[in-house]
A and B are shown apart, each in its own frame.
Chain A
Amino acid sequence: MSANPLVRLFDVDFNSDRNRAILRFLFGKAGSAIARVFPTRAAVCYSGLVTGLALAFVPIAKEAPVRFTLTTTLIGAGLVAVSAHELDELQDDIDEEKTQRDRDRQLRLFADTEAKNRVAETNLLRHGYELDKSLPPELQQAISPASPETETVSPSDRAAFDAAISAAQTSQRQTQSNHSAQQQKGDRTPEETTATDPLLVSARPSTNFTTTMEQIAQRLVSMTVVGVPGAGKGMFVSNLLRLARQHHPQLHIFVMEGKGDAKEAGYWQGVADDIRSIQGLDASPVSIVAWINGCLEDFKAISGSKLLIFDEVTYLYKVWQTTEKESFEDYIQYKIGLSSMGDSLQNYIWEIGQVSNAKDLGVTAGIRSLFKPIAIVSNHDRRAANALLGTKFVPLPEEGKKAVMQMCDRSPCGRAVYDYVNDCWQPMPQLENLSGFDRDTRSFAEQEPPASKQPDVRADLERLLSVETPEPARKVTRFGLTVEQIGEVQQRLSGLQPGAISSVKRIRENSRLLREQGITQANLAELFDYLAVTGAIEWLASDQRDFRYLGGL
């Protein structure tokens, strides 16, 4: 042992545990001190780079002694080299993190399939087939473990089960034959019933499209309705909606309609709980995307069983994925989730569009196939019909496209329809035109629907906010803002809970639309003053910045 106290202090073995502990402590302290000064890794790298450059060149510029400048240049070079290397590493980490995120996203997609299987399995174990409301009552009675009588019967009683099935099949055949002579019920008149003309009978005699519609309405699924322009997608969906309403009175029907055509408003009126409409061709892409995002937020906020009707998806999806790909991807994920788990949650989406090409819909063919297909073609536009029939969206009959066109010719309305229930094409029966406008003849069937009944949320807002005579919705500029901008503010406000405290600044900053259209806080002052007068908000201070939302919008 040395007599020197310094040697004794540091110990002879420099690699001792104590020395290593001291070094760890010092490095830890130095590291945390650096982390306090430079909160991010990038800040450390850039600071090192700048310091290195300064060390290398500033002493030379200041004409310091050459020995000193040479030293600082070498130190500066070292610092720059280390910083550049660290920046490279940082970028590698960022890239890897991004790749990992993409990989996670893919894994979530796979996990969705797993979740779907799990949900199906759980339902089967917990409820048997009881959840399947499409089963005939006889079968439900035979299978359901709900009643004490059925519990006494062994589920393995195969003979009883088979008997119930055959009874149900016989009953179903009878019901189908009866239904073929009847018009669907509800708000339709007996005069409009489908004729039992033998020509209208499908290529498969056991199926009839009116019955199919009943089945679809009874057992809801998420689906994609595709058809050439004017094929009757709206007519089909509007009739189907009324049937769905009969079977599911509690279902919240939410319509997003991208055409904004007053003539077609009748499709949704009286059946939908929520109708959102936008004139897709007139609106800017940014406002279309803001509208879609707002609608979807509202739809997601609805609890219980719900159905989203998303009309004109071909155009809206194209605009959406071109303008804001990220939120479009999120929606696709939501769709995938719904297709997997929506059935047990009773959440559904019906997409209505013109093309079935997966690329045009912004998804892969696999994701497109998650939604059940319905396709409608008409003999009024054979070229467009042939183009649709050429896609892999729906299978063709063995006889090919010609057979489908022959079905169109046999149909009283000149249309053929493919449905996923029967997995075949059928001539389409004459359905009631609920819009009141016949696009085939370009004439109003009865009376032109009044323009004031157009389901336009912006018009509704304008009416809500107006103090004087209402003007045409799209031309009005009030409070120095356009209707669209007022609509955006309203949407932001209605997202708040009554009693919540917010600020004009936050409302403006949270809205991409307002920011992109250059609306400042001062521009919003007049509108907010008005809202304060009407009692929708309450100012918290005299500076009129922070407010309490009182509800009512």
Chain B
Amino acid sequence: MSHRIVSKFGYYSLAGFAGSALVQLAVIWPQTWIAVGALGVLALLYFAFLLVCMQGVLRGARWAGVLNFNLLGVDAIESTAIVLLFVVGGLWTCLQIL
């Protein structure tokens, strides 16, 4: 256990702050809800894409050799954590404020 792990956690939590701040901004400035909705759809697409990739890898499909867990040069677990924290931050703020 080193400081590096806590530092990583700090960086990832910024994604949660971003989701939360976006929702709060949308409350003040309603036009931002469009951006919130768009980002929500993108997050859903990401998870759908991730599921398809995982199934492909599990079935040993040829295309899964390209679309493996090292998505876009970022580790799949890290990118999933960032998207997930962004969504959770936004949803939690929605529930608290609305």
Contact = CB atoms under 8 A, between A and B. Distances in A.
B93 to A, nearest CB: 6
B3 A66 contact: no
A231 interface: no
B21 A80 contact: no
11 contacts: A42-B3, A46-B6, A49-B6, A53-B13, A66-B97, A73-B17, A73-B24, A74-B17, A84-B7, A84-B8, A91-B3
Contacts of B18: 77
Interface residues of A, number: 29
B2 interface: yes
B4 A91 contact: yes
Interface in B16-50: 17-18, 20-21, 24-25, 27-28
Given A49-B6, A83-B10, A84-B11, A66 B27 contact: yes
Interface stretch (A56-64, A113-121, A299-307, A339-347): A56-64
Contacts of A94: 2-3
B71 interface: no
Given A77-B14, A91-B4, 10 more contacts: A53-B13, A66-B28, A70-B25, A77-B17, A77-B18, A80-B10, A80-B17, A83-B10, A88-B3, A91-B7
Interface string A189-221: 000000000000000000000000000000000
Contact of B10 (A60, A87, A90, A91): A87
Interface size range on B against A: 20 to 34
Contacts of A74: 17, 21
Contacts of A61: 96
A25 B34 CA distance: 49
Interface of B: 2-4, 6-11, 13-14, 17-18, 20-21, 24-25, 27-28, 92-93, 96-97
A69 interface: yes
A45 interface: yes
A66 B24 contact: yes
B19 to A, nearest CB: 10
Contacts of A76: 17
A21 B72 CA distance: 50
A67 interface: yes
A245 B21 CA distance: 84
B12 to A, nearest CB: 9
A60 B17 CA distance: 11
A250 to B, nearest CB: 52
Contact of B14 (A63, A80, A88, A91): A80
A42 B4 CA distance: 12
Nearest to A71: B24
Contacts of B27: 66
Interface string A32-69: 00000000001001100100110011001101001101
A46 B3 CA distance: 9
Contacts of A73: 17, 20-21, 24
A81 interface: yes
A74 B9 CA distance: 17
Given A60-B93, A80-B14, A67 B21 contact: no
A76 B17 CA distance: 8
A69 B11 contact: no
Given A88-B3, A88-B7, A91-B4, A63 B21 contact: no
A366 B73 CA distance: 44
Nearest to B9: A84
Contacts of B21: 70, 73-74, 77
Contacts of B3: 42, 45, 87-88, 90-91, 94
A76 B8 CA distance: 16
A67 B29 CA distance: 11
B11 A81 contact: yes
